[in-house]
Amino acid sequence: MEQHPSYLMGFDLGGTKMLCGVLNSSYEIVSTTKKKTGDASRSEETFERIVACVQAALDDAGVAASEVVALGVAAPGPIDLRTGTLLETPNLGFQQFPLAERLSREVGIDVRVENDVNAGLYGEYVKGAAGRYRHVLGLFPGTGVGGAIVIDGKLYRGAQGGAGEIGHMIMQLDGRLCGCGQYGCLEAMVSRGAMAREAALLVTNGKAPTIAEKAGTDVSKMRAGVFKKAIDAGDTEVARLVDRAADILGIGMANCVNIFNPEAIVVGGGLVEKLGSSYLDRAAASMRSHAMSHLAAGVEIIAATLGDDAAVVGAAAVAHEHVRESRGGGR
């Protein structure tokens, strides 16, 4: 039997599902447990589900709370990372909710909360696609466009923990309205939501027969897989729309390459998983033709490899490092 606690836990708190993993000290997942987030309008109900999911994960792995060094929670922002308080997450019902403190008390494990996109990139850094690099950016085009930054092997969080909003880089003056309230953000041009709104117009004009058949004009049904099917079926206007999104994503990457001089950009999320290398290669080519050439030459554009596990692994690693730093007497 182990004399010292040697396991870690990572928890991905999503709007529709929560995923909790138990990991060994090499950040390998021992087991994962999934639950629906459920009706998340009431914070106490959501919190009870989080606690139940952590306890179920411990049971599934056959591990006691006393054997766990730390639990990292990946949550949507904004978050006070210092105290682990969820400041305002309306779709989970949380407002100024001291998640780290409450959860730590409930399950008896040190808890650290991290922004979910940061956790996703950090997972790819410690155990996934980006392990060979020290300077890495993450871009996750999906419902929105998540971004995160690792500089010299460390997550870069900025003054208030809010760094990495690459999706809200403004690409076009007077462009399309973004969910953040600004116009012309990268996210408003290349996210799946943005592509779906354009595809709905094509459907209305009779130019996207496969999407018409699979989703009609219902943008919520236009998942990444629907775009893939339309392209495979030869819907040329849809292929053009997706190519254009990849080209613009590449210009966003080029701006980041010029600012951060990274070695790699990890791209993850549903669009990359479904559309694959044609989408990624096109974005990479666009990046190379728009970034400063000596910087572009040194950048790899790579697909994320951990999928849904990335945030679980990254959150566990963040929590582990925090415990080690605080025990080491650092600030």
Contact flag: residue 177 with Zn ion (CB under 5 A): no
> Of the ranges 98-106, 172-180, 192-200, 249-257, which one interacts with Zn ion (CB under 5 A)?
172-180
Site size toward Zn ion, by CB under 5 A: 5
The binder of Zn ion chosen from 61, 63, 145, 178 (CB under 5 A) = 178
Residue 244, exposed/middle/buried by CB under 10 A (0-12, 13-18, 19+)? middle
Contact flag: residue 185 with Zn ion (CB under 5 A): yes
**Alpha carbon separation from 72 to 1, 112, 185 (Å, rounded):** 24, 5, 31
Contact flag: residue 170 with Zn ion (CB under 5 A): no
Q: Residue 177: how many CB atoms within 10 A of its CB? A: 11
Contact flag: residue 257 with Zn ion (CB under 5 A): no
Degrees, nearest 5: CA angle 277-282-261: 100
Residue closer to Zn ion, measured from CB, 51 or 180: 180
The two structure tokens encoding residue 106: 């409930």
Interface mask (CB under 5 A) for Zn ion, residues 219-238, using x and -?
A: --------------------
Rounded Cα distance, 62 and 258, in Å: 48
> Of the ranges 58-66, 185-193, 249-257, 282-290, which one interacts with Zn ion (CB under 5 A)?
185-193
The binder of Zn ion chosen from 49, 102, 127, 168 (CB under 5 A) = 168
Smallest separation, CB 145 to Zn ion (Å): 9
> Of the ranges 21-29, 162-170, 298-306, 314-322, which one interacts with Zn ion (CB under 5 A)?
162-170
Rounded Cα distance, 20 and 37, in Å: 12
Contact flag: residue 171 with Zn ion (CB under 5 A): no
Smallest separation, CB 180 to Zn ion (Å): 3
Rounded Cα distance, 318 and 110, in Å: 12
Do 107 and 71 form a contact (C-beta atoms < 8 A)? yes
DSSP state of 184: S
Contact flag: residue 190 with Zn ion (CB under 5 A): no
Residue closer to Zn ion, measured from CB, 61 or 148: 148
Do 81 and 111 form a contact (C-beta atoms < 8 A)? no
Smallest separation, CB 181 to Zn ion (Å): 7
Q: How far is CA 266 from the centre of its chain?
A: 11
Q: Using CB under 5 A as the criterion, which residues of the chain lie in contact with Zn ion when the complex forms?
A: 168, 178, 180, 182, 185
